[in-house]
């Protein structure tokens, strides 16, 4: 009778699933993350898609990946380097092996290491046999063949059987980390409810992978990660795009005003359109336009009609919306424009992460055309930012640009579902009293009144030509234009009075301050913590509001000798800080389609301290 294998307790682990885009790695990673979520772990994920819709099978540029870090402590990133690499073919192994930790585990689908696939990946000999992987713990398993054997009596076609091998790999990993199969089997049957034969085949493959790992005792030990000590509440795992969609619906409910989305599908923003199209029972209308311009123009029309206007896009789609953005500024209507940033310019790296649209968001329009800009720092933060964007838009009667990026939009993390009563108020007051009405008369926030068309006695003109300061009639008067340009700028600048004081993590003065924005948050937080453990005094402040900048930022910057700004661009926030505060900063740039590693920022901190 065999002895039970030892169970090794570890604090955290990073796993990366990689294979062809048709190997189901995204599904495998997502299902594994759901199992981890049920176990009560904190976690963060990073899906990595190839730019090509379907690259040639077995090629280096066709590799698709999904990385997850889960822990018994707090998790801020998907991890620097994987502890475990599940590689479904030679190309997946070659492109991801440099990231694997020394001594890490490789689970390789040996059946895919054919002469043809090895040649496509640039291997002269098989790395599974030539000793080149001696520094790692290699488990070569013919996943494809074992899946075929497990499903030989199901009556499925060879192609259908091949699509089940990702569940075999999932079974292996669930065994390695001591996760039960029951909940996953339920998920499979629910996911493939319309095709029960495929559902049962995937269940069989899952069980077969788990049973093989268990009975063959392929792993010397299994691993256990204790559940994280997290704030009590009800949680769900969701992506940044999903969180943004829920936030927009919440804004609509809080305002008691219907929501309209006019959008054109574009990677990686499309999922917001998908999510909102399934929430029509919350008084949400979605319109898939024929192009980007039609998408934003329809949203402007909706805002004029008295509903919350929203448009979503990414990369080059933002450039196409630019002229209509100017129209929204001139009309002074509430509108939210969501840009899930991606690598550029042009179509660039459509599935990779970048933060290179900040200057476009702040300045990228003709004329003096100021717009408030906010940015989310994590998937869950997209929910709060969606509400904040509409709060600013309706309070100040202005379009607002909400920046996310592919690293946030596609990534998953646990989200504590808030009590609706705890959400910030979002008041909307449509003017209905015609007494003394002037379309461009302003309140204490310099916002003009929001009037629904057809309100008796309040008919007025709107359009892209400059308008009179009060009546809104077309005006070419030079002094009026000067006045209107200045008041629109003052209105946006006044948003700063609604920005809460910034939170500084670490010492309130000293040698080094890190200023970040957007998706660099997790890497900066962990890098600062590691530097602090090394005895370094370093602080961190993260910006949600990027235009206008918070009123207290200048004073905070003045308290530190050195300011470091890590960005996934060539220094766009750094430029804004220099311009506004005449303060030199240390630029830390990365434009590789990848997130910052924690170690990269930590090492830069150690160089500066």
**Amino acid 364: pLDDT:** 96
- Domains 7-224 and 510-608 alike in fold: no
| Domain edges within the chain | 7-224, 236-422, 510-608
Instruction: Give me the torsion for CA of 543, 548, 550, 556, rounded to 10°.
Output: 80
Which positions of the chain have pLDDT values less than 50? 1-2
Please name which of 410, 415, 78, 420 lies closest in space to residue 272, comparing C-alpha atoms. 410
CATH class (in words) of the domain with range 510-608: alpha beta
- Return the structure tokens found at 336: 């939210």
Residues 6+ positions from 379 with CB-CB distance below 8 Å:
238, 239, 240, 242, 243, 408, 409, 411, 412, 413, 415
**What 3-state DSSP class applies to 28?**
helix
**Amino acid 50: pLDDT:** 87
**For residues 604 and 541, what is the distance between their CA atoms, to the nearest angstrom?**
17
pLDDT in tens, 123-168: 999 999 999 999 999 999 999 999 999 999 999 999 999 999 999 9
**For residues 223 and 209, what is the distance between their CA atoms, to the nearest angstrom?**
17
**Amino acid 220: pLDDT:** 61
Instruction: List the beta bridge partners of residue 335.
Output: 309, 399
Share of the chain above pLDDT 90, in %: 89
Could you give the C-alpha distances from 193 to 199, 207, 223, 275, in angstroms and in order? 7, 18, 32, 20
Tell whether pTM > 0.85: yes
What's the CATH fold of domain 236-422?
A: Rossmann fold (3.40.50)
The alpha carbons of the chain give a radius of gyration, in whole angstroms, of 26
Q: Give the CATH superfamily of 7-224.
A: Pyruvate-ferredoxin oxidoreductase, PFOR, domain III (3.40.920.10)
């Amino acid at each position: 009778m065999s002895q039970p294998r030892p169970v090794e307790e570890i604090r955290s682990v990073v796993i990366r699933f990689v294979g062809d885009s048709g190997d189901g790695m995204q599904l495998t990673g997502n299902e594994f993350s759901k199992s981890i979520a049920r176990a009560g772990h904190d976690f963060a994920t990073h899906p990595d898609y190839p730019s090509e819709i379907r690259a040639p099978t077995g090629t280096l540029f066709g590799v698709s990946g999904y990385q997850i870090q889960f822990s018994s402590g707090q998790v801020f990133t998907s991890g620097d380097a994987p502890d475990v690499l599940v590689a479904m073919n030679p190309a997946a192994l070659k492109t991801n092996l440099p990231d694997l930790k020394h001594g890490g585990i490789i689970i390789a689908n040996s059946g895919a290491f054919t002469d043809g696939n090895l040649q496509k990946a640039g291997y002269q000999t098989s790395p599974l046999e030539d000793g080149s992987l001696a520094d790692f713990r290699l488990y070569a398993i013919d996943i494809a063949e074992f899946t075929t054997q497990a499903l030989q009596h199901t009556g499925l076609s060879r192609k259908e059987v091949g699509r089940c091998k990702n569940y075999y790999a999932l079974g292996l990993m669930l065994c390695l980390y001591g996760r039960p199969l029951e909940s996953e089997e339920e998920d499979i049957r629910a996911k493939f409810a319309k095709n029960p034969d495929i559902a049962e085949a995937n269940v069989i493959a899952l069980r077969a992978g788990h049973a093989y790992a268990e009975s063959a005792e392929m792993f010397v030990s299994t691993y256990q990660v204790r559940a994280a000590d997290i704030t009590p509440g009800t949680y769900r795992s969701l992506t940044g795009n999903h969180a943004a969609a829920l936030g927009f619906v919440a804004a609509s409910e809080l305002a008691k005003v219907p929501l309209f989305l006019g959008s054109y599908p574009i990677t990686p923003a499309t999922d917001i359109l998908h999510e909102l199209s399934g929430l029509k029972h919350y008084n949400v209308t979605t319109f898939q336009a024929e192009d980007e311009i039609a998408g934003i123009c329809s949203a402007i029309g909706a805002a004029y009609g008295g509903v919350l206007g929203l448009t979503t896009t990414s990369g080059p789609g933002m450039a196409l919306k630019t002229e209509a953005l100017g129209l929204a500024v001139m009309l002074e209507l509430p509108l939210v424009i969501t840009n899930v940033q991606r690598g550029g310019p042009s179509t660039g790296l459509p599935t990779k992460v970048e933060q290179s649209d900040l200057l476009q968001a702040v300045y990228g329009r003709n004329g003096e055309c100021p717009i408030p800009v906010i940015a989310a720092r994590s998937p869950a933060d997209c929910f709060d930012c969606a509400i904040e964007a509409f709060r600013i838009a309706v309070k100040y009667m202005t379009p607002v640009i909400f920046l996310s990026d592919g690293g946030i939009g596609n990534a998953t993390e646990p989200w504590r579902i808030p009590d609706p009563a705890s959400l910030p108020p979002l008041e909307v007051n449509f003017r209905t009293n015609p007494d003394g009405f002037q379309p461009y008369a302003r309140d204490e926030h310099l916002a003009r009144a929001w009037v629904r068309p057809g309100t008796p006695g309040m008919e007025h003109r709107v359009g892209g030509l400059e308008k009179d300061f009060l009546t809104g009639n077309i005006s070419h008067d030079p002094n009026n234009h000067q006045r209107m340009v200045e008041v629109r700028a003052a209105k946006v600048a006044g948003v700063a009075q609604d920005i809460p004081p910034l939170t500084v993590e670490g010492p309130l003065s000293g040698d080094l301050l890190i200023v970040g924005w957007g998706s660099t948050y997790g890497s900066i937080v962990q890098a600062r913590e590691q530097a602090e453990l090394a005895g370094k005094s370093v602080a961190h402040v993260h910006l949600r509001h990027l235009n206008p900048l918070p009123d207290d930022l200048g004073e905070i910057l003045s308290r530190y000798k050195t300011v470091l700004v890590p960005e996934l661009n060539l220094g766009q926030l750094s430029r804004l800080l220099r311009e506004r505060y005449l303060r030199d900063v240390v630029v830390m740039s990365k434009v590789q389609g990848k997130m910052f590693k924690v170690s990269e920022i930590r090492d830069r901190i150690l160089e500066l301290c």
